[in-house]
Amino acid sequence: MKLAVLSCSSKCYSTRRLREAAQQRGHDVKVLNTLKFAIDLEEGHPDLYFNQHQLTHYDAVLPRIGASITYFGTAVVRQFEQMDVFCANSSGGISNSRDKLRSLQILSRHQIGIPQTTFVRDKKDVLPAIERVGGAPVVIKLLEGTQGIGVLLAETVQSAEAIIELLQNQKQNVLIQKFVAESKGKDIRAFVVGDRVVAAMRRVAQGQEFRSNVHRGGSTEQVELDDVYCETAVRAAQIMGLRVAGVDLLEGKDGPLIMEVNSSPGLEGIERCTQLDVAGAIVDYMAAQVNFPEIDLRQRLTVSRGYGVTEIHIPEGSDYVGKTISSSGLRDNDINVLTLYRGAKVIPNPRSERELEAGDRLLAFGKLESMKGLVPAKTRRKRQQGIQDLPELPVAEEALIEEAMVEEQLVAPESTAPVAQVSSEEE
């Protein structure tokens, strides 16, 4: 395979090890500086230039995108995706992983443990939010911090409020998170490659420090993870759209809690601690997967007019309960079941003789008209209405009246901005 490692630091341990592991296995490997690409866009022909030369063909790309160049780096990865080159981590997955709020939002719809977390903006929401996550001590996090910088523990509600106010005044967005006391000063780093954990370690904080990051002086020890921890880590990486990921978990009293999923995990700490060839595992995995580049399924499947992807719920008492997929008549109505979700279980490409149960969710592709009646009412979108004439009242004036009514109820200081600023979101 011809492999490109996208990295700005060709000399660092991780990049060196990846290059070495690929060479040992007889692959043709190049480390390409992410910042030296130019992205060319032309009808039907996405292209990349590297150091002013058109890029030659690569079979696979391993992105190692640092947090400081996320925007440009993910644009380069996205371009490889458009060119149908296999990328170990998707551009979307990398973007998602960079924002602690966004990643927890994505994870929170799945049956996967996460520490209770809230995100608020209005001052009046701060105190109730702290209470909702269990009161003090409480963890406060900047959305885009790494290496433990921007993670604080507030011992009292008063200090939490003061810290949050200070940060918000500095235009910083913060998350308020339950302090998982039983995991104080330690966490688990599970290194996920594809659908397995290839190495894991426990990180233990120094002295009174509650953050166990190695950059904060934390030490590492080998750990044997049980199936629940492994499965949780792999699912978290998959949900985020990452095939190579460093998943950080807290050891909660009721099981693992996902703290974050890193898309460019360092190799030095984990390889030194476990003495395992993690770089080799990444390269082997990529060589086996190289023919399956990421496809944006929704984008590809919905280009046929009248067809789309949706989730069908099978509620208690539904006619479908107890029927097999083939006897349900779904296929006759031009509906294909791609995946069946049953509790925390995911059954891909379910067989036609599989029986449906109450509570099942079916990811289906088919004729939208046939699927309409099967989508639960609350998520069913209204059919598009014909476009109506403008009302007599000028729209801006109407909006102002509504705005005034809302303000009366809320009296939020920020929302009393002058009218000129109200529409500043519009271009």
The residues binding Mg ion (CB under 5 A) are 248
State the minimum distance, in angstroms, from the CB of residue 150 to ligand ADP. 6
Question: Tell me, what DSSP letter sits at residue 103?
Answer: H
State the minimum distance, in angstroms, from the CB of residue 236 to ligand ADP. 13
**Beta-carbon neighbour count of residue 294 at 10 Å?**
20
Tokens (6 digits) for 282: 């990444």
- Contact 264/63 with Cβ under 8 angstroms? yes
Rounded to whole angstroms, the Cα distance separating 114 from 100 reads 12
Length reported for the chain? 427
User: Which does residue 246 touch among ligand ADP, Mg ion, none (CB within 5 to 8 A, set by kind)?
Assistant: none
Contacts of 388 (CB under 8 A, 6+ apart): none
Rounded to whole angstroms, the Cα distance separating 157 from 117 reads 16
Rounded to whole angstroms, the Cα distance separating 246 from 265 reads 5
The pairing of strands 37-40 and 47-50 is antiparallel
User: Which does residue 16 touch among ligand ADP, Mg ion, none (CB within 5 to 8 A, set by kind)?
Assistant: none
Q: Which is nearer to ligand ADP, 33 or 105 (CB)?
A: 105
State the minimum distance, in angstroms, from the CB of residue 240 to ligand ADP. 14
Which residue number has the CB closest to Mg ion?
A: 248
Residue appearing with tokens 């109505």: 333
State the minimum distance, in angstroms, from the CB of residue 117 to ligand ADP. 8
User: Which does residue 264 touch among ligand ADP, Mg ion, none (CB within 5 to 8 A, set by kind)?
Assistant: none
Rounded to whole angstroms, the Cα distance separating 292 from 295 reads 8
State the minimum distance, in angstroms, from the CB of residue 116 to ligand ADP. 9
Q: Which is nearer to Mg ion, 246 or 366 (CB)?
A: 246
Give contact residues for ligand ADP (rule: CB under 6 A). 115, 139, 141, 145-149, 151, 177-180, 183-184, 187, 210-213, 248, 250, 259-260
Q: Which is nearer to ligand ADP, 216 or 354 (CB)?
A: 216
Q: Which is nearer to Mg ion, 85 or 233 (CB)?
A: 233
Q: Report the amino acid identity of residue 424.
A: S
Rounded to whole angstroms, the Cα distance separating 128 from 164 reads 13
State the minimum distance, in angstroms, from the CB of residue 67 to Mg ion. 12
Q: Which is nearer to ligand ADP, 12 or 143 (CB)?
A: 143
Identify the CA nearest to 360 among candidates 373, 347, 377, 379: 347
Q: Which is nearer to Mg ion, 74 or 213 (CB)?
A: 213
Helix or strand run (H / E) with residue 199: strand 196-204
State the minimum distance, in angstroms, from the CB of residue 87 to ligand ADP. 23
User: Which does residue 314 touch among Mg ion, ligand ADP, none (CB within 5 to 8 A, set by kind)?
Assistant: none
DSSP 149-184: TTEEEESSHHHHHHHHHHHHHTT--EEEEE--GGGT
User: Which does residue 183 touch among Mg ion, ligand ADP, none (CB within 5 to 8 A, set by kind)?
Assistant: ligand ADP
Identify the CA nearest to 100 among candidates 141, 152, 138, 155: 141
State the minimum distance, in angstroms, from the CB of residue 213 to Mg ion. 6
User: Which does residue 151 touch among ligand ADP, Mg ion, none (CB within 5 to 8 A, set by kind)?
Assistant: ligand ADP
Q: Which is nearer to ligand ADP, 93 or 350 (CB)?
A: 93
Residue appearing with tokens 């069946």: 340
User: Which does residue 360 touch among ligand ADP, Mg ion, none (CB within 5 to 8 A, set by kind)?
Assistant: none
User: Which does residue 285 touch among Mg ion, ligand ADP, none (CB within 5 to 8 A, set by kind)?
Assistant: none
Q: Which is nearer to Mg ion, 27 or 216 (CB)?
A: 216
